[in-house]
Amino acid sequence: MRLPEEPDIPAQINIVPMIDVIFAILTFFIMSTLYLTRSEGLPVNLPKAATAKAAAKAAPITITIDSIGDISLNRQPVNLNLLPEEIQRLKGNSPEILVVINADESSSHGNVVAVMDRVRQVEGAKLAIATQKSN
């Protein structure tokens, strides 16, 4: 007894699993790039503000005031009295420059005001204070 011959089905390549793998890899890369951030300042505990906004562009100058009152300019320790000269040096010939102050929430208000006063002595320096968005 002979079985009827089955018609030959042409060979096929199923691409659905390949598409699933490609989308999984794409999702991995998208999610991992969300965690890439460039930090210009030293790690401090920023205060929270409901109206906090993301900076429109990368800030070229960052001043960090830690919890004990030490001041750093672009991660380099600096004396408060030399701050205007250092900012002017970093500013160069630019007409305006954005200066972001990262002050630890436990740093004294007087230290922050003193730094702001020194930054205002530099013509064309625009001040911004870094905060974290409160949930």
Q: How confident is residue 75, by pLDDT bands cut at 50, 70 and 90?
A: confident
Average pLDDT of the residues in 25-38: 84
Orientation angle between helical segments 109-120 and 83-91, nearest 10 degrees? 50
Q: How confident is residue 59, by pLDDT bands cut at 50, 70 and 90?
A: very low
Average pLDDT of the residues in 113-134: 87
Residue 12 forms part of a structural domain: no
Q: Tokens 């204070």, residue?
A: 129
* Whether residue 27 has pLDDT greater than 70: yes
Residue 51 burial class via C-beta count within 10 angstroms: exposed 0-12, middle 13-18, buried 19 and up: exposed
pTM of the model: 0.57
Q: What is the pLDDT of residue 58?
A: 40
Residue 118 forms part of a structural domain: yes
Average pLDDT of the residues in 46-73: 75
Q: How confident is residue 26, by pLDDT bands cut at 50, 70 and 90?
A: very high
Q: Indicate the number of domains in the chain.
A: 1
Domain that holds residue 52: 48-133
Q: What are the DSSP E strand ranges found in the chain?
A: 48-49, 61-65, 71-73, 76-77, 97-103, 125-129, 132-133
CATH of the domain at 84: 3.30.420.270
Residue 64 forms part of a structural domain: yes
Residue 119 forms part of a structural domain: yes
* Whether residue 132 has pLDDT greater than 60: yes
Residue 43 forms part of a structural domain: no
**Which of the given ranges, 19-23, 49-53, 119-123, has the highest pLDDT on average?**
19-23
At 82-101, the pLDDT tens digits run: 999 988 888 888 888 889 99
Q: How far apart are CA 45 and CA 103, in angstroms?
A: 8
Q: How far apart are CA 53 and CA 106, in angstroms?
A: 21
Q: Which two tokens stand for residue 114?
A: 């003193």
Strands 48-49 and 132-133: parallel
Report the chain's mean pLDDT, rounded to a whole number.
82
Q: How far apart are CA 43 and CA 80, in angstroms?
A: 19
